[in-house]
A and B are shown apart, each in its own frame.
Chain A
Amino acid sequence: MHEWALAEAIISAVSETAERERLREISSVVIVIGELQHVNKDILRFAIEQLKQNRLTGAKFIIRSTRAKFICRACGHKWSLKRTDLSKDVREAIHFVPETVHAYLKCPVCGSPDFEISGGRGVWIASIRGER
């Protein structure tokens, strides 16, 4: 249940920011999740709802996704991830550390493992909106 750890980290980061910025009530939080994380959005949403308290109680959490995109550093080819590109075991491995995708994917044109993940990695809080 990686999603619960993620939810705890998000709640902690939002709470700390709210305190630092002296926001007495948070109205909305936008979270962006990279496709490579393979996060179950329903579990994440449920975990956030269970964990939010105090000035976050009324906050609406909006969860968005970004597609995984790659650029080959050897030949410059750009491509996106197809769900069929990765087996279930591999998806689980990169769910924890997305960078392990370098061990499993190659550039479909030149075969190089030296590619940049140009989109769809990580989880970040895109914005927090609140009242002072």
Chain B
Amino acid sequence: MDSQHKGREIKMLDPRINAINNRLSGINRIIAVASGKGGVGKSIIASTMALLSAKSGLKSGLLDIDFTSPTTHIVLNARGLQPVEDRGIVPPEVNGVRYMSLVFYLGDKPSPLRGHELSDTLLEVLAYTVWGRLGLLVIDMPPGISDLTLDLLKYVRGAEYLIVTTPSKMSFETIRKLILLLRELRAPILGVVENMKMGGADYIRREVEVLGERYLGEIHYDEGLEDTLGRVEELLRTRFAAEVGEILRKIINVKPQY
């Protein structure tokens, strides 16, 4: 209290926190594609989901928050584009997808960021990106359960989590921890996708069911997939895209309980 002015003084507020809900208010569903380890195919699955969703007629967006190692621009072939400033930052549209990535500001330069810097970056991106009305926003997350996962859980309460693993026990061990964290924080889990499937082992399916989560399906290892990166029409004709489409259909029609 300020007795001299018979009033009250409140100190230190971050206006970005207030802006986030407003920025996300026009989005029907937010799906965060997450994993415990890197290299399991999150970015290409997230990008393909956004592309397929847009192609099906749903207004779709893709946000890459793997700030130190963004790669979705390679899948989308989004080089040479720039967001426009208009009461915020309006993301460009790439192959029908409204797309935001730090790559617009970094180019090919490395961005060595520590924990609180990653948090500040996420707050800036969430507070100032103008998505408008979207049926679906897909978020490509960095691997693991550190800063950005915790920040997304804190600031984007409505996000639903799609977990990606490979058939490896090592990969599953890391998503088990991710699932337990998401449960503790009461975040909705859509289910688990087994990517790069080779052979008929059902280890991941069994373990997911033991955990009581939904096994959404398998995506087979596709030797030709690498050659389609940046060539969206070819990418969408692959077996990989067909299998991502199956999973998308399963989750887009069912909204989990919060």
Contacts and interface: CB of A to CB of B under 8 A. Distances in A.
B128 interface: yes
26 contacts: A2-B85, A2-B89, A4-B87, A5-B88, A8-B22, A9-B16, A9-B18, A9-B19, A13-B18, A14-B13, A16-B18, A21-B8, A21-B10, A27-B5, A93-B106, A96-B83, A97-B124, A99-B111, A99-B117, A102-B117, A103-B105, A103-B111, A113-B110, A113-B112, A124-B13, A127-B12
Nearest to B11: A127
A127 B8 contact: no
Nearest to A129: B9
B71 interface: no
Interface string B195-231: 0000000000000000000000000000000000000
Contacts of B112: 102, 113-114
Given A96-B128, A97-B105, A128-B10, A102 B113 contact: yes
Interface of A: 1-2, 4-6, 8-10, 12-14, 16-17, 21, 23, 27, 93-94, 96-100, 102-104, 113-114, 117, 121-132
Contact of B120 (A12, A13, A121, A131): A121
Given A1-B85, A5-B19, A12-B22, A103 B106 contact: yes
Contacts of B22: 8, 12
Nearest to B88: A5
A98 B87 contact: no
Interface in B95-122: 102, 105-107, 109-113, 117-118, 120-121
**Size bracket of the B interface:** 35 or more
B13 A125 contact: yes
B109 A103 contact: yes
Contact of B111 (A4, A10, A16, A100): A100
Dominant SS at the B interface? mixed
Given A9-B127, A21-B8, A129-B5, A99 B120 contact: yes
B184 interface: no
A116 B142 CA distance: 22
B211 to A, nearest CB: 36
Contact of A13 (B15, B87, B130): B15
A131 B100 CA distance: 42
Most buried by B among A2, A93, A96: A96
Contacts of A131: 6-8
B24 to A, nearest CB: 13
